[in-house]
């Protein structure tokens, strides 16, 4: 491999000849070979968008030469289009402000801009990564802004549509199975009958509330730290810079971003990310409840509950022929568990706001975006490959009701709790149904019993 020499404030570093990044990025690669984890495409896209809009505004304000401004804009646009994805190799675990990734972006843009102007990549002439690409900015306000932009973009463009798709699927099953009576359960024990559609309506409502919860954080995510520069006081940036850049970001993203109301809060804390992660965790918990219920309801099929059937998407066992496991619910549960773990990481990261800067920005950003993507994909997969194909096993549902001792509950208003409990105990001891024992005991007339239990359509 051929190398070239690149200089930064610490001296000279050798950089691969085909690399667009420079010395600062190479030092980060050398110093942080910790995890092999990289920022997601959505984060790099958002960071490039900030640089593009910043260059446009700095050109408009007369702070950048027109040729330099346009070259930066064009280079940032290419990055947004994914043409330089391989040029962002810096590990997620780096300096807590994300400076390494910010400089990685600055260097790639400057290098590409220089290539378009001079024919040679790299270097700092005529386009300088700090003086031109990073003009009016600091890692301390750019990285939290990129975090907010990418998170809100993924929530609006990916997560909410996926949750709406899942809700629609669950509501369809609510209607489709609305007349299927089954036994209800509390404490994993038989309770009084309900309709299978009612059970699924609860799942649909969980998802609907999850959508409301994540939408409730949008106003806080819409606030961007841009304009605060190093410590929140806006040193070395034009007074109109932030307002104009945020307006352009809103235009290109089709979302309504605003400049942070208080830049010291926006950079010293990451409460919006913590709040968002809490909403994501709640959605994850909802998905686990739904998926676990589906696993139970489909268990068996002959020696479990077997009240519903789920699609067969792959052989369920490497040793037991014909076994169909709930692989989709189990995969979604694992993704949800990862989201819960990410929330703990983000919560701890949120506590690292020391004075004017939070120094856990990269790990907060990585985990938050991963949680959004996991829940988005999980909701889509659950709807398409599981919920849509669920069917009711009507015979099992009806049979479970008939056998249930919980039917004694319907006798309580007529004969009292103690007598109803005695009938339930006798039914349990003899293996008979509640209806059979109640009829044999002659505690109520056949006409009354028929009236009580016919409402359940059990003849």
User: Averaged over 163-167, what is the pLDDT?
Assistant: 98
Cα–Cα distance between 280 and 159 in angstroms, integer? Answer: 10
Q: Which helix (H) or strand (E) holds 427?
A: helix 417-430
Is residue 258 packed enough to be buried (19+ CB in 10 Å), middle (13-18) or exposed (0-12)? middle
Is 150 known to be catalytic? no
Cα–Cα distance between 296 and 292 in angstroms, integer? Answer: 6
Span of 104-118, 128-142, 350-364, 430-444 with lowest mean pLDDT: 430-444
Architecture of domain 404-454: Orthogonal Bundle (1.10)
Determine contact, residues 237/229, Cβ cutoff 8 Å: yes
Q: Where are the chain's structural domains?
A: 3-135, 148-226+267-395, 404-454
Kindly indicate the confidence band of residue 459, based on its pLDDT and cuts at 50, 70 and 90: very low
Architecture of domain 3-135: Orthogonal Bundle (1.10)
Active-site entry in 35, 175, 317, 445: 317
Q: Quick: pLDDT tens for 276-287.
A: 999 999 999 999
User: Averaged over 153-167, what is the pLDDT?
Assistant: 98
pLDDT of residue 1: 84
pLDDT of residue 301: 86
Strand partners for 259 = 224
User: Averaged over 135-154, what is the pLDDT?
Assistant: 98
Cα–Cα distance between 180 and 407 in angstroms, integer? Answer: 17
What angle, rounded to 10 degrees, do the helices at 196-215 and 271-297 form?
A: 170
pLDDT of residue 273: 98
The CATH code of the domain at 148-226+267-395 is 1.20.200.10
Task: Write down the mean pLDDT value for the chain.
Answer: 96
Cα–Cα distance between 107 and 159 in angstroms, integer? Answer: 32
Active-site entry in 187, 299, 377, 404: 187
Q: Quick: pLDDT tens for 372-405.
A: 999 999 999 999 999 999 999 999 999 999 999 9
Determine contact, residues 195/177, Cβ cutoff 8 Å: yes
pTM: predicted TM-score of the whole model, two decimal places: 0.96
pLDDT of residue 284: 99
Is 187 known to be catalytic? yes
Cβ neighbour number for residue 365 with a 10 Å cutoff: 30
């Amino acid at each position: 491999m051929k190398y070239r020499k690149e200089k930064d404030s610490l001296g000279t570093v050798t950089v691969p000849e085909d690399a667009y990044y420079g010395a600062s990025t190479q030092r980060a690669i050398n110093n942080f070979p910790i995890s092999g984890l990289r920022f997601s495409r959505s984060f790099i896209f958002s960071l490039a968008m900030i640089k593009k809009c910043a260059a446009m505004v700095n050109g408009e304000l007369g702070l950048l030469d027109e040729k330099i401004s346009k070259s930066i804009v064009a280079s940032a646009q290419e990055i947004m289009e994914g043409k330089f994805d391989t040029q962002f190799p810096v590990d997620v675990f780096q300096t807590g402000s994300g400076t390494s990734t910010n400089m990685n972006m600055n260097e790639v843009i400057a290098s590409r801009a220089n290539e378009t102007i001079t024919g040679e990549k790299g270097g700092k002439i005529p386009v300088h990564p700090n003086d031109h690409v990073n003009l009016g900015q600091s890692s301390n306000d750019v990285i939290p802004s990129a975090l907010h932009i990418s998170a809100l973009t993924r929530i609006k463009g990916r997560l909410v549509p996926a949750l709406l798709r899942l809700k629609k699927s669950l509501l369809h099953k609510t209607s489709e199975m609305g007349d299927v009576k089954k036994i209800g359960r509390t404490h994993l024990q038989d309770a009084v009958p309900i309709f299978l559609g009612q059970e699924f309506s609860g799942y649909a409502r969980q998802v609907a509330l999850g959508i409301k919860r994540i939408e409730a954080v949008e106003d806080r995510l819409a606030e961007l730290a841009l304009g605060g520069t190093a410590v929140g006081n806006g040193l070395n940036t034009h007074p109109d810079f932030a307002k104009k850049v945020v307006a352009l970001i809103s235009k290109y993203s089709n979302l309504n971003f605003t400049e942070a109301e208080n830049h010291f809060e926006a950079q010293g804390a990451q409460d919006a990310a913590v709040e968002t992660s809490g909403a994501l965790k709640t959605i994850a918990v909802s998905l686990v409840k739904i998926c676990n219920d589906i696993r139970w309801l489909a268990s068996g099929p002959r020696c479990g509950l077997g009240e519903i059937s789920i699609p067969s998407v792959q052989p369920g066992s490497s040793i037991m022929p014909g076994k169909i496991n709930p692989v989709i619910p189990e995969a979604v549960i694992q993704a949800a568990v990862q989201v819960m773990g990410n929330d703990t990481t983000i919560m701890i990261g949120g506590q690292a706001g020391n004075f004017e800067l939070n120094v856990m920005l990269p790990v907060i950003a990585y985990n938050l975006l991963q949680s959004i993507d996991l829940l988005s994909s999980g909701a889509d997969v659950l709807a398409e490959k599981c919920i849509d194909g669920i069917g009711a096993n009507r015979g099992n549902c009806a049979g479970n009701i008939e056998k249930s001792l919980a039917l004694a509950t319907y006798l309580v208003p007529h004969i009292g709790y103690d007598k109803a409990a005695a009938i339930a105990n006798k039914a349990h001891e003899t293996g008979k149904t509640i209806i059979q024992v109640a009829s044999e005991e002659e505690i109520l007339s056949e006409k009354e019993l028929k009236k009580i239990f016919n409402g359940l359509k059990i003849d």
